[in-house]
Each structure stands twice: as structure tokens, then as C-alpha cells.
Amino acid sequence: MITPQGLEDQLLGIVAAKEKPELEAKKNELIIESAANKKQLKEIEDKILEVLSSSQVPLSLCSISICLCIGIIGIGIISLKDCGLCFNIS
């Protein structure tokens, strides 16, 4: 469905692309990066749920490990695939 907001966004994109093409390119990069981040977040959430549902480790210990792992990744100390506190990402 066509909305006034959608048309305004399209027009703004056209004007920005003409006047400041570098800003339009950066916006498009950020949109792609955001989509990739959302996809990665969904994959991580699914993996956490899978591990928690099949784990022999007491839930409280596993939850603490996952929280530590995500916290360490969040501050940029290590990458997700190097974490391995409670689960391994292949």
C-alpha cells in the first residue's frame, strides 16, 4: 500500500542521492549492515535456544556462561566463534 510517509522517504532518497551521493551510499551500506546484524542476532538466539533445550548442564550455569559469552563479545574482546563458554558456533 502506498503511504504519504513512504512517498516522502522515496523522494528524500532521490534528493539525497542527487545532492549528496556519498550520504545515500552510506545509508544503503547501513541498511545492509543492519539487515545482516538482525540475521546474525536471530541465528544466535536460535542457537542459544537449541543449546538450552538440549543441554545436560544445569540451566543456571548454562545461562551464566551464555551471558558472559555475549557480554565479552559485546565489548569486543573476542568473536562469537571464539567464545565457546557454553556452545560452539559452526
CB 85, CB 66: distance < 8 Å: yes
- Domain-embedded: residue 28: yes
Q: What is the pLDDT of residue 37?
A: 92
The domain in which residue 61 lies consists of 4-83
Q: What is the pLDDT of residue 71?
A: 53
- Domain-embedded: residue 25: yes
Model pTM?
Answer: 0.51
- Side-chain half-sphere of 67: how many Cα atoms within 13 Å? 6
- Domain-embedded: residue 88: no
- Domain-embedded: residue 89: no
Q: pLDDT tens, 21-74?
A: 898 889 889 999 999 999 999 988 888 888 777 766 555 555 555 555 555 555
- Domain-embedded: residue 90: no
What's the number of domains the chain is made of?
A: 1
- Domain-embedded: residue 26: yes
- Domain-embedded: residue 52: yes
- Domain-embedded: residue 21: yes
Q: pLDDT tens, 1-22?
A: 889 999 998 898 888 889 998 9
- Report the alpha-carbon distance of residue 61 to residue 53 in Å, rounded: 14
Q: What is the pLDDT of residue 62?
A: 52
Q: pLDDT tens, 76-87?
A: 444 545 555 444
Q: What is the pLDDT of residue 49?
A: 80
